[in-house]
Amino acid sequence: MSELEGPLKDIFDVVIHRNPGEPEFQQAVHEVFETLTPVMAKHPEYEDVLTRMCEPERQIIFRVPWIDDDGKVQINRGFRVEFNSALGPYKGGLRFHPSVNLSIVKFLGFEQIFKNSLTGLPIGGGKGGSDFDPKGRSDREVMRFCQSFMTELYRHIGDKTDVPAGDIGVGGREIGYLFGQYKRITNRYESGVLTGKGLTWGGSQVRPEATGYGAVFFVDEMLKAKGQGFDGKKVLVSGSGNVATYAIEKIHQLGGTVIGCSDSSGYVIDEKGIDLELLKEVKQVRRARLSEYVELRGNGTKVGTDGTLWQVPADIALPCATQNELDEDDAKALVANGCQIVGEGANMPTTPEAIKVLQAAGIGFAPGKAANAGGVATSALEMQQNASRDSWSFEYTEERLSDIMRSIHETCVETADEYNDPNNYIAGANIAGFVHVAEAMLALGVI
Ligand code: NDP
């Protein structure tokens, strides 16, 4: 991490002191601070605001007891960090994964503030989750866990307070169980309290697709700025969950070919193009490993054996799995293989060292805050539909998503130009997201 100077260094020192042992949170704060020097020089009045912005408005940690299929009591830890509500109710997903801890929830919640601000929609930033691992658990166990989790969480959320959604390990099944328990405890059909719901019970068209589609729309704008498109491009997409699946779908629709994807057990190379229906069958229906995809596909498809997915030559790379999954060596391999663009579908998947390598080589780099904002933006569209008891068509909703991604791209480019850092999408996204929230916080007084 590079050295900060002046007030940014002083504020960052306080962050380090207040949040010991939270490396992911410190990394996310540092990444934003690195780009704020010109803003602080122009607006010294933002110093106090930035200090407040680094301190969550509320952090909730709770016990989640539940009984497994063998009748044994299991205990997990639940989190909800309500980070910033200057622009609207806290908004951000829930992650169920054994790696979840306060540092990870805080890094995600902090990033969410700027991402939500960039969408231009009235939503604040928050994030939550649990160290519960849904993998290998029966539907009944997942239901009992979700019910116990919501039995505590329900008192903190509401359509005007805090609106959770899905993230890693939390898809339609989990949102259903969580919403069911909320409805049961409160005796209110308050659709707008959670997003990512099923279509027959208050969900929005395009919400499952939104993060992956949105990331591809964003990268498409970057390509258009160079007079190009996805047509004929070879693409790597890491992960094979929600974001990766729909990123692959949209890339194929736009004429690109996704030649490799991954899961936590490894990666596959499929030079003829990933067979999406088969991938969905293996990962979503069977909830199996990617090696099963290779067995069923044949066709010269193979499990990757050398290094990581990023060592495979391609024109575009979209990390869509998890944080810090693309490191310095991966970045060097991408550069050596002539990759032109890296777009973050996941949150903070690229390490700071890797970003430096990519930027030094002039590779277009789209940070997650901008590139994956389509998911939360469509969640906000779901909230709009719930508030007006309406439901929009797939085509209309996708058009809205595409407009939002185009506008975020424009904002990033214009802001980077304004602060004399052309083509730096990280600076553009951080500065534009920050200034919008900072102005609202100044207007609302010291709270
Ligand atoms: P899913 O749980 O649907 O999928 C996650 C995928 O990543 C799975 O294929 C999983 O593999 C893989 N994975 C997890 N850990 C690792 C690892 N250490 N190495 C390699 N692969 C790994 O989650 P989502 O698709 O929803 O989320 C992916 C990323 O996108 C996260 O960073 C999330 O925060 C971000 N994001 C998600 C949004 C959404 O709307 N869902 C919105 C904005 C950002 P396996 O199947 O083996 O578990």
Measured CA to CA, the distance from residue 400 to residue 210 in angstroms comes to: 11
Which DSSP category does 98 fall into? Answer: T
- 371, 405, 423 — which closes off a domain? 371
Query: In which band, very low, low, confident or very high, does the pLDDT at 299 lie, cut at 50, 70 and 90?
Result: confident
Q: Say if residue 222 is in the same domain as residue 349.
A: yes
Looking up residue 162, the CATH number of its domain turns out to be: 3.40.50.10860
- List the beta strands (DSSP E) in 85-244: 90-96, 125-130, 162-165, 234-237
Q: Among 294, 239, 240, 242, which residue's Cα sits nearest to residue 269?
A: 294
Give a yes or no: residue 423 inside a domain. Answer: no
Sort 133 into a burial class: Cβ within 10 Å, 0-12 / 13-18 / 19+: middle
Query: In which band, very low, low, confident or very high, does the pLDDT at 172 lie, cut at 50, 70 and 90?
Result: very high
Q: Say if residue 78 is in the same domain as residue 35.
A: no
Residue nearest to atom 35 of ligand 1 (CA): 346
Pocket test for ligand 1, best of 322, 330, 404 (most atoms within 8 A of CB): 322
The arithmetic mean of pLDDT across residues 265-284, rounded, is 96
Which DSSP category does 154 fall into? Answer: G
Residue 325 beta carbon below 6 angstroms from any ligand 1 atom: yes
45: helix, coil or strand?
coil
- 351, 371, 391 — which closes off a domain? 371
Q: Among 220, 217, 222, 258, which residue's Cα sits nearest to residue 240?
A: 258
Do 304 and 312 form a contact (C-beta atoms < 8 A)?
A: yes
Give a yes or no: residue 226 inside a domain. Answer: yes
Residue 129 beta carbon below 6 angstroms from any ligand 1 atom: no
pLDDT(106) > 80: yes
Residue nearest to atom 11 of ligand 1 (CA): 263
Q: Say if residue 236 is in the same domain as residue 359.
A: yes
Looking up residue 362, the CATH number of its domain turns out to be: 3.40.50.720
Query: In which band, very low, low, confident or very high, does the pLDDT at 148 lie, cut at 50, 70 and 90?
Result: very high
Show Cβ contacts of residue 153 under 8 Å, excluding neighbours closer than 6 positions: 60, 62, 78, 80, 128, 164, 178
Query: In which band, very low, low, confident or very high, does the pLDDT at 79 lie, cut at 50, 70 and 90?
Result: very high
pLDDT(306) > 80: yes
The arithmetic mean of pLDDT across residues 381-397, rounded, is 97
The arithmetic mean of pLDDT across residues 75-99, rounded, is 98
Q: Kindly compute the dihedral angle of the four CA atoms of residues 137, 142, 145, 150, in this order, to the nearest 10 degrees.
A: 160
The number of domains in the chain is: 3
The arithmetic mean of pLDDT across residues 151-178, rounded, is 97
Query: In which band, very low, low, confident or very high, does the pLDDT at 62 lie, cut at 50, 70 and 90?
Result: very high
Which DSSP category does 158 fall into? Answer: B
Task: Tell me the helices (H) and strands (E) count for the chain, helix number first.
Answer: 17, 12
Give a yes or no: residue 394 inside a domain. Answer: no
Structure tokens at 153: 């969480």
Positions annotated as catalytic residues are: 127
Q: Say if residue 146 is in the same domain as residue 277.
A: no
Q: Say if residue 35 is in the same domain as residue 63.
A: no
Q: Which atom of ligand 1 is nearest to the CA of 287?
A: 46
Q: Say if residue 39 is in the same domain as residue 126.
A: no
Sort 70 into a burial class: Cβ within 10 Å, 0-12 / 13-18 / 19+: exposed
pLDDT(154) > 80: yes
Give a yes or no: residue 128 inside a domain. Answer: yes
Distance of CA 135 from the midpoint of ligand 1 (Å): 13
Q: State the pLDDT at residue 305.
A: 83
H/E run at residue 353: helix 352-360
Show Cβ contacts of residue 301 under 8 Å, excluding neighbours closer than 6 positions: 268, 269, 270, 272, 293, 294
Structure tokens at 398: 């996708």
Q: Among 343, 364, 345, which residue's Cα sits nearest to residue 424?
A: 364
pLDDT(136) > 90: yes
Q: Say if residue 224 is in the same domain as residue 361.
A: yes
pLDDT(209) > 80: yes
Give a yes or no: residue 432 inside a domain. Answer: no
Give a yes or no: residue 437 inside a domain. Answer: no
**Residue 247's domain spans which residues?**
210-371
First and final C-alpha spacing in the chain? 31
pLDDT(1) > 80: no
- 55, 71, 92 — which closes off a domain? 55
Q: Say if residue 144 is in the same domain as residue 269.
A: no
User: What is the percentage of the chain residues whose pLDDT exceeds 70?
Assistant: 100
Give the chain's mean pLDDT: 97
Q: Which atom of ligand 1 is nearest to the CA of 165?
A: 40
Give a yes or no: residue 203 inside a domain. Answer: no
Q: Say if residue 30 is in the same domain as residue 69.
A: no
pLDDT(337) > 90: yes
Do 320 and 223 form a contact (C-beta atoms < 8 A)?
A: no
Residue nearest to atom 36 of ligand 1 (CA): 346
Distance of CA 371 from the midpoint of ligand 1 (Å): 15
Measured CA to CA, the distance from residue 389 to residue 189 in angstroms comes to: 12
Do 174 and 140 form a contact (C-beta atoms < 8 A)?
A: no
Q: Kindly compute the dihedral angle of the four CA atoms of residues 257, 263, 267, 272, in this order, to the nearest 10 degrees.
A: -20
Q: Say if residue 170 is in the same domain as residue 233.
A: no
119: helix, coil or strand?
coil
Query: In which band, very low, low, confident or very high, does the pLDDT at 336 lie, cut at 50, 70 and 90?
Result: very high
364: helix, coil or strand?
strand
Give a yes or no: residue 194 inside a domain. Answer: no
Measured CA to CA, the distance from residue 379 to residue 123 in angstroms comes to: 10
Q: Say if residue 7 is in the same domain as residue 129.
A: no
Measured CA to CA, the distance from residue 57 to residue 156 in angstroms comes to: 13
For strand 364-366 and strand 341-343, is the pairing parallel, antiparallel, or unpaired? Answer: parallel
Structure tokens at 74: 């299991």
Query: In which band, very low, low, confident or very high, does the pLDDT at 2 lie, cut at 50, 70 and 90?
Result: confident
Which DSSP category does 312 fall into? Answer: S
Q: Say if residue 343 is in the same domain as residue 290.
A: yes
For strand 58-67 and strand 341-343, is the pairing parallel, antiparallel, or unpaired? Answer: unpaired
